[in-house]
Amino acid sequence: MLRSAEIVLNAYRAGIVIPAFNIPYLPMMEPVIRAIVDQDSFAFIETARLEWFKFEAGGPDEVMAEFRKWNKPEYVRLHLDHVPVIDEDDIRIDYLPIIKHAIDLGYHSVMIDGSRLSLDENIAATRRVVELAHHAGIACEAELGAVLGHEAGPLPPYDELFETGRGFTRIDEAERFVNETGCDWLSVAVGSIHGAISGTQKDQKKVEARLNLDHLEQLREATQIPLVLHGGSGVRQSDVLAAFKKGIAKINIGSEIRQAYERTRLETGRVEAAQEAAQEAVYKRTTELIRDYLGNAGIRSTVAGETITPHDKGRAIP
């Protein structure tokens, strides 16, 4: 069985993408995995710290237990998404025990989010997690720049954010960051935004985001490692497809399938019927995203079917 780092590197080299689906409600797990298998695709199942408190995912133990019920190792891996050093409510988090616990549980890769730190602090925190992950033989994702949307309160107008490049990952910082941390994948900010997670905003349809593809190309040249696009729901499809040729090898999708689940559960009558209908809505939307939006159907053998000996920047990938 190929490791997560090898699979993402295969995608990076082939110019295709691995979707990563967030699971804020445990009943979403089965239909998402079922859709991935039915499309002969490959994907990550993800859980982020905020989904344990602001939704109903429970925690890393509960997500792992549900994942094991439905796991199809030839089709999916489990990834620990955003564990922030400073969270969306500006609270300092004791992040290392959370990540250590996920590694002990058997998560296949982890993410440290130091994006709200200074560059030097982000490098130091990320390096610590990279050492932990690599010692366990798994990959570490990091973030540089600010993919906005999870903060409390409304965002400024999207066009203003895009035109000013607010939060965009800086080219010079990205090269230094990758060289000094040894991270395997880097989440970059090039125009996408996260779906809102609080108040009435969490139910609203996201604006159609776009990507600064020239900026992304420069990041690819500077880092030479697989890049990750967070806030993948709602990004203009032509930009998403172009991004796969410019270094994006993993794309996170949360809002679209979460809202499909929440909307259907709310609109349906009996609890059991609501749950079943919501699960089928998630299956349908996941299938559409894999087949029609990402063109990801049938790629499993390309990314997960061959053993490689990956090296990037002179560094063996765990």
Residue 136: strand, helix, or coil: coil
Distance CA 146, CA 270 (A): 41
81 is catalytic: yes
- Residue 253: phi and psi, rounded to 5, are -130, 120
Percentage with pLDDT > 90 across the chain:
75
Model confidence pLDDT, tens digit, residues 270-304: 888 999 999 999 999 999 999 999 999 999 999 99
| Structure token pair of residue 84 | 């922030």
125 conformational bin, left if phi > 0, alpha if psi -120 to 50, beta if neither: alpha
| Structure token pair of residue 151 | 């903060």
- Banded pLDDT at 111 (limits 50, 70, 90): very high
The CA angle 109-27-70, to the nearest 5 degrees, is 55
CB 19 within 8 A of CB 289: yes
| Structure token pair of residue 32 | 């998402």
Sketch out the chain's domains with CATH numbers: 4-306 (3.20.20.70)
Contacts with 250 (C-beta within 8 Å, 6 or more apart), sequence order: 8, 11, 17, 18, 19, 20, 44, 141, 185, 226, 227, 228, 229
**pLDDT for the residue numbered 231:** 85
CB 190 within 8 A of CB 212: yes
Q: What is the mean pLDDT of residues 11-31?
A: 96
- Banded pLDDT at 310 (limits 50, 70, 90): very low
Q: What is the mean pLDDT of residues 111-117?
A: 96
| Structure token pair of residue 59 | 């925690």
Chain-centroid distance of CA 148 in Å reads: 14
pLDDT at 258 over 90: yes
Q: What is the mean pLDDT of residues 28-53?
A: 97
Q: What is the mean pLDDT of residues 225-229?
A: 97
Distance CA 164, CA 148 (A): 14
pLDDT at 315 over 80: no
Q: What is the largest CA-CA distance in the chain?
A: 58
- Banded pLDDT at 307 (limits 50, 70, 90): very low
**How many CB atoms within 10 Å of residue 122?**
22
Q: Enumerate the β-bridge partners of residue 53.
A: none
| Structure token pair of residue 54 | 């602001």
Looking at per-residue confidence, does 206 or 139 come out higher?
Answer: 139
Model confidence pLDDT, tens digit, residues 116-162: 999 999 999 999 999 999 999 999 999 999 876 555 556 667 667 76
**Given the residues 38, 40, 61, 81, the one annotated as active site:** 81
**pLDDT for the residue numbered 167:** 78
pTM: 0.89
